[in-house]
Amino acid sequence: MIQAVLILIKPDGLKKSLTGNILSRLAETKLEIVAAKMVRVSEALAKEHYRHLKDKPFFGELIDYLLGKLHNRKKVMALVYWGEEAIKKCRDLAGATNPEEAEATSIRGSYGRITTSGLYENVIHVSSDINDAEREIKLWFNPEEIIVELYPAKEIIAKEVKKQIWA
Ligand code: UDP
Ligand code: MG
């Protein structure tokens, strides 16, 4: 099945200069990159992204992690990969959520760690199923930022939208 999947290179991945490395590993999947950008994550975006974990004791620290507060890197790299069995291929490469349990050759097994407080700093996010992927991709990207039509979109005439243009 052709799928799309959201990948985030989390602030620890950026701080450890792992971007090239992670993208090289993901290239092994032969999937197509259909969207990519650097994002300054807002608290609202981080909380919405991880809303399924809001009752967990580590939620506050997890949000600080995605916001870059733990690494002094207030950004993440967001990408959408697209192709046959994209979710399974990317999750297999990423490895288990707990970096200590992840296969040593996986991305998380190679570069992740558990902090002294127990948070899993695992360098990469990968959507876990097609419903999560759709929710997350729509949360992180606008339709015009994705070079294929993944989900139905519509055109509107937006009036009085404040945005930056080149001076
Ligand atoms: N996480 C954690 N401790 C846990 C479970 C999750 O620190 O016991 C963090 C970890 O960074 C993980 C993120 O919360 O990547 C989201 O958790 P999820 O269960 O969605 O795992 P994932 O889909 O990222 O493998
Ligand atoms: Mg998840």
Q: Minimum mean pLDDT among 16-25, 31-40, 96-105, 154-163: which range?
A: 154-163
Ligand 1, atom nearest to 10 Cα: 11
CA atoms 105, 110, 112, 113: torsion sign: positive
Q: What is the CATH number of domain 2-145?
A: 3.30.70.141
Residues 104-133 have a mean pLDDT of 98
Residue-level pLDDT at 118: 98
What does residue 7 show for φ and ψ, rounded to 5 degrees? Answer: -115, 135
Cα 99 to middle of ligand 1, angstroms: 10
pLDDT (tens digit per residue) in 59-77 = 999 999 999 999 998 999 9
Give dist(CA 103, CA 94) in Å, integer: 9
Residue-level pLDDT at 72: 93
Ligand 1, atom nearest to 125 Cα: 24
Contact 93, 25 (CB under 8 A): yes
Residues 103-108 have a mean pLDDT of 98
Give dist(CA 78, CA 21) in Å, integer: 15
Q: Which residues pair with 113 in a beta bridge?
A: 121
Residues 22-50 have a mean pLDDT of 98
Residue-level pLDDT at 73: 87
pTM, to two decimals: 0.97
- The residue ranges of every structural domain in the chain are 2-145
